[in-house]
Structure 1
Amino acid sequence: MGRPPHPTDPSFEEIWPQYLRGVLDSSAQEHDHRQTCFKKTSRKVERLSNEQRDKLCRFLYPQPIAETTSMDDDGKIEIKRANAFMVPYVPAVTGRFGCNTDGKFIGSGAFGMALSIYIASYTAKNSLDSAIMTSALLASLKSIGDPRLLQGDKCRTFINKTLNNASARRELSAQQVAASLLGKPNHYTDASFVHCYWSRTLTWIAPDVFPAFSKTPSDAER
């Protein structure tokens, strides 16, 4: 595409729309359902119909068509939209950087708070959110079989598989990876916390099923 046309160019008004159209086409500004749209589910995009993809997309595409731009009571702007899959953009920013962008107007406290949470979530991913645990449990159930038949060692295997699946599905941000590679601590606090060990918790809940860490007389004496 080359450099964007300069506003002082005599033919800028004619060249700019064509250049911007080229940027939008080449930078995938128009949303296309991919696996990341369904990463919080266990379903593969290849197995979903077009109707299912539109319904399950976590980015909520397609968006409603809007003939005019309007603002609701919460300060949310519903922009004029002729293409249900076009991601919002600022022409000057998208054209200048020549890449995919996502422009949103933050006009209220509620949306400002949502933006703060969004940025914080990208900086420090949640360790194990409900979506990760649900997908991990589902994967473990598929590998174990009928959960009603879980007894003895199969219970331990099920827990191990669930934890392994949860760890494998955990997301890490670029900041977390960089901090680990550089040997930097990832947590600063002046508070103190009680250690809770998962294996001992399992023993406390079901000592007959998880007896490995049950207290023996020698443990009690120590």
Structure 2
Amino acid sequence: MLKKLPKDNMGTSNLGWLQSRFHFSFAEYRNPNNINFGVLRVLNDDIVHPQSGFDMHPHSNMEIISYIVNGEITHKDSMGNAETLKRGEVQYLSAGDGIYHSEYNLHKSDDLRLLQIWIIPPKTGLPRLYGSKKFEENERKNRLLNIVSSQNGNADIKIYQDVNIYVSELEVNKSLEFEIKENRQVYFVQIEGSSKINDVILEDGDAMEIVDEKKLIINPISNSHILFIEMPKK
């Protein structure tokens, strides 16, 4: 089953310094029929304007992945980590019993766009984790790049939950296929450009829930930037 989720049907917010599109209930967007998809609890498509950001704030018992689409993000946290990441780079943390962090766009003129992804951990109170990976463009160009996996997976970034996150930047006529194993499901995001996924067309900002399918066939209609999360079927 392929369930297309047009971006125009998603929740939105505009705080002046921050513009957000909410794939699931978050902040002022409340929809009791749209809380999560399996272990995926939050997926926010955020634009943070220059010289602004999220002040120091707490998280606990959540695994948080930030995928930078454009611009740059500067992170600081209560564990002593501090760094700046750019397009295609990834930051992650497992908040465990509690962590404080801030996220800023310190650039003087360019917007920051990022996907903020929250994954429900397999249990509470797990040890805290923090890290990042500065992937190169050629690692995702016309190929699937596994940016996040479980501790038993093959990605450089490993979290506790049994998920895999993939990204790709595809040129026209460069199709990809992905096998979906039994009792697994996928949440797919068209970040930029447009693609045909099996028989469904997604435009930039659209998403799709994929359940009870054996394979994804990804055909870019224009130059296409995609991300999808593969997880247990629940």
Fold equivalence (TM over 0.5): no
Q: TM-score range by the shorter chain?
A: under 0.3
TM-score, structure 1 as length reference: 0.23
Structure having greater relative contact order (Cα 8 Å, sep ≥ 6): 2
Q: Highest CA radius of gyration, 1 or 2?
A: 1
Greater fraction strand: 2
TM-score, structure 2 as length reference: 0.22
